[in-house]
Amino acid sequence: MSKAFDGDSSPATELRPGFSVVICTYNRAAFLEGALASVFAQAYPRDRYELIIVDNDSSDGTQALVQPYLTSASIPISYYVERRPGASFARNLGIERAHHEYIAFLDDDAVAAPGWLAGFDAAIGRYGALAGGGPVEPIVEPGLEPPSWWTEHSIRCIFGLDHAHLDSSEQAVAIRWPLWLGACNSFYSKRLLDAHGGFRPDCGPVGQQYRVAQDVELNVRLERAGVPIYYVRDSRIKHRVTAERLTRRYVWRRAYSAGVTDAAAWALLGGAGKLPQLAPAALRLLLSGEPARTAAGCRLGYGIGYLHKKLQMALREKLVKHG
């Protein structure tokens, strides 16, 4: 058991078999306890995993919530504070402090199934997987009723992930972009991340600022280096959908961010994605009723984000060329 603040202890040099589970958190003490409980309840040998909590400088009592676990948890647990704002900084500190061969990431507002780590372990043993992730089931908070313009399908598409259409005979399937996996439910070899770099600090969310998704950027970078990314069916999590996420403003901003990310991912792979058509989406947004209007807004937001990022990259390339 250990406790540390502000990165004041040295990273491990000898890696142990199994997983370092990393939960990065920021002002979600109300949800964090559920995530912690799901990690302690894993159907996986207690001597083969640890828990690392990285607090991105919360102000809501997160430290007080974690404190009792540091001396009473059934597995090794450590706690760090990363004062630089941004999920990438927090995740990278977790990578640095990990003691095990593999690092598994779980969001602070998610709950892992009991077989989560065992599923990853099986994929590593059977397929030699060095990176992967699993299904994400969105769960609307109890007592919340989604707006009339939301459908169950919409919630699952925007907040969840399930590549159910892939070969069902395999426990894990190697995927390529544009199929993707989120950091909220993922694992990576620590040595792989040491060799290729972790999450880019200029990617990922910082407060309310949306940027290129740091998990997609990392996975596409690994794919370009020839590293297979695996979708692991048995490693499931449930992810909370809170009230503020069931608003048009939130989902339209999320769509915009997806467009930015997709443009950057295609550029990184040296390909060209399909250019979005803004005019039909704008017209449908103006003329349609719900839920078509909200869906059209998502398509328009995505297209604007995509084209904005394409233009930004083109201008940067031109400046470098004529620098």
- Beta strands across the sheet bearing 110-112: 110-112, 237-241, 136-140
d(Cα 157, Cα 180) in Å, to the nearest integer?
A: 13
With tokens 């048995």, the residue in question is 234
- Residue 106: alpha-carbon gap to chain centroid: 8
d(Cα 191, Cα 199) in Å, to the nearest integer?
A: 14
Band of the pLDDT at 208, cuts 50, 70, 90? low
In the DSSP assignment, the letter for residue 245 is: G
- Residue 297: alpha-carbon gap to chain centroid: 24
Q: Convert the pLDDT of each residue in 239-267 to its tens digit.
A: 999 999 999 899 999 999 999 999 999 99
Task: Sketch out the chain's domains with CATH numbers.
Answer: 16-246 (3.90.550.10), 248-318 (no CATH)
Q: Convert the pLDDT of each residue in 92-108 to its tens digit.
A: 999 999 999 999 999 99
Instruction: Give this prediction's pTM.
Output: 0.91
Tokens of residue 166, six digits: 């892939």
Cβ atoms of 41 and 127 within 8 Å: the answer is no
Instruction: Please report the pLDDT score of residue 12 as a whole number.
Output: 46
The Cα-based distances of 40 to 80, 105, 141, 198, 205 in angstroms read 19, 14, 22, 26, 28
Tokens of residue 136, six digits: 């994400």
Tokens of residue 272, six digits: 């060209």
Instruction: Please report the pLDDT score of residue 221 as a whole number.
Output: 95
Instruction: Examine the pLDDT at 2 and tell me if it is beyond 70.
Output: no
